[in-house]
Amino acid sequence: MTRPRNDTLLRALLREPVEYTPLWLMRQAGRYLPEYCETRKRAGSFMALCKSPQLACEVTLQPLARYDLDAAILFSDILTVPDAMGLGLYFAEGEGPKFERPLRDEWEIRNLAAPDPHDELRYVIDAVAEIRRALDGSVPLIGFSGSPYTLACYMIEGGASDDFRRIKTMLYDRPDLLHHVLGVTAQAVTAYLNAQIGAGAQAVQIFDTWGGSLSHAAYREFSLAYMQEIIAGLTRTHDGERIPVIVFTKGGGLWLEDIAASGCDAVGLDWTIDIGQARARVGKRVALQGNLDPSILFAGPDVVAIEARKVLHSFGPGSGHVFNLGHGISQFTPPEIVTALVETVRVESRSFHGPQSPA
């Protein structure tokens, strides 16, 4: 495997020198793009879109045709893993994802098994391979999965939750059962990400969306410990190239040093932490990704440019920064505003890189 022609993202994740700060956006292929909405309508449903390698490839490439981004990210959903475990994922109109068979009884939990990604998740692995072929060495492809704790939230609650009552009751009342769920899910995620790497993913991100809802001690025991287990089991080099691993815990600023010590190459930050302060805390241990508030994209292009510059200035000179939002882009974001963001970062970030800029 040779690096893509634009390998700026990979170099930044590995803290190698770059000419400018690379940029990609969480949920960059999504409902804010009219072309995505057209493809989704053609697919008939969200899951049909996810399960078609051809259509998943089509929507993965759409933002790259519109914007000068430094990476593609696989179009899929974090809940494909529990769906492959037999929980019956479906999407209710206006209600988000739900499971037909959430984990409620002990026998269901004891019977939980990690799926073979080359069998039950073959459609995702085929999509990775197809996207890599379509990218033709232009920019890197990022693969991803949800974290075990985040997946368990949906698996036990049965869908999205405001208070996480069921999973937190299990966490405190029957921690042995939750540890079993998390252990099996960690095995599944490790195999799934390794299959994505084998099919062509050149970096991977673990989305720990709900880790920030945990108490201080519970985060380490029930979220971070299992992400560390996954990282330790990942294929870190493939065809002679290093595969960077990004960990993103929404609301994880409290545990920044612990996440940086997990074995990952980069830590994703939400918008609640100053990226310059985060850099001072982690030093040269990891790269940092983030962390513009996605809501800023509802403002005008001048405001977006000002706020993007603030993030760049806060991180300061040198490599090790991947510009991103602090969470996924909203479906209500005007597509033309993203152009202003991308152009600002591409132009303004160059002054922070070069021989005079320390790594």
pLDDT tens-place string over residues 229-286: 999 999 999 999 999 999 999 999 999 999 999 999 999 999 999 999 999 999 999 9
pLDDT at 303 exceeding the cut of 90: yes
Q: How far from 245 is each of 149, 280, 281, CA to CA, in Å?
A: 18, 21, 19
Helices 148-157 and 165-173 pack at an angle, to 10 degrees, of: 110
> What is the average per-residue pLDDT within 186-191?
98
Question: Does residue 353 have a known ligand-binding role?
Answer: no
Where residue 290 falls (left for φ over 0; alpha for ψ -120 to 50; beta otherwise) is left
Partner residues linked to 247 by β-bridges? 206, 267
What's the pTM value of the predicted model, to 2 decimals?
0.96
pLDDT tens per residue across span 119-175: 999 999 999 999 999 999 999 999 999 999 999 999 999 998 999 999 999 999 999
Q: So where are the chain's domains?
A: 8-352
Q: List, in sequence order, every beta strand (DSSP E) within the chain.
A: 72-73, 89-92, 96-99, 141-146, 203-208, 237-238, 241-242, 245-249, 266-268, 287-289, 321-322
Q: At which residue do the structure tokens 């049965």 appear?
A: 158
Q: Supply the pLDDT for residue 96.
A: 83
Among candidate residues 3, 66, 77, 258, the one labeled active-site is: 77
**C-alpha torsion angle, residues 69, 189, 3, 140 (rounded to 10):** -10
Distance of CA 140 to the CA centre of its chain: 14
Q: How confident is the model at residue 91 (pLDDT cuts 50, 70, 90)?
A: confident
Question: Does residue 242 have a known ligand-binding role?
Answer: no
pLDDT at 184 exceeding the cut of 80: yes
Q: Is 72 exposed, middle or buried (0-12, 13-18, 19+ CB in 10 A)?
A: buried
Q: Supply the pLDDT for residue 1.
A: 53
* DSSP per position, 242-265: E--EEEEETT-GGGHHHHHTTT-S
Q: Is 32 a catalytic residue?
A: no
Q: Is 27 a catalytic residue?
A: yes
Partner residues linked to 167 by β-bridges? none
Among candidate residues 3, 31, 242, 309, the one labeled active-site is: 31
> What is the average per-residue pLDDT within 11-17?
98
Q: How many Å apart are CA 158 and CA 151, to the nearest integer?
A: 10
Among candidate residues 40, 132, 279, 346, the one labeled active-site is: 40
Q: Is 285 a catalytic residue?
A: no
Are 35 and 58 in contact by the 8 Å Cβ rule? The answer is no
Question: Does residue 30 have a known ligand-binding role?
Answer: yes
Q: Is 154 a catalytic residue?
A: yes
CATH classification for the domain delimited by 8-352, as one of 3.30.1330.10, 3.40.50.150, 3.20.20.210, 1.10.357.10: 3.20.20.210
Question: Does residue 11 have a known ligand-binding role?
Answer: no
Strands 245-249 and 241-242: unpaired
Q: Is 77 a catalytic residue?
A: yes
Q: List, in sequence order, every beta strand (DSSP E) within 13-88.
A: 72-73
Question: Is residue 285 helix, strand or coil?
Answer: coil
Of the candidates 83, 78, 85, the one whose C-alpha atom is nearest the C-alpha of residue 180 is 85
Question: Does residue 327 have a known ligand-binding role?
Answer: yes
Query: By 3-state DSSP, what share of the chain in percent is helix, strand and coil, each rounded to 5?
Result: 50, 10, 35
Q: How many Å apart are CA 155 and CA 112, to the nearest integer?
A: 11
Q: DSSP secondary-structure letter at 241?
A: E
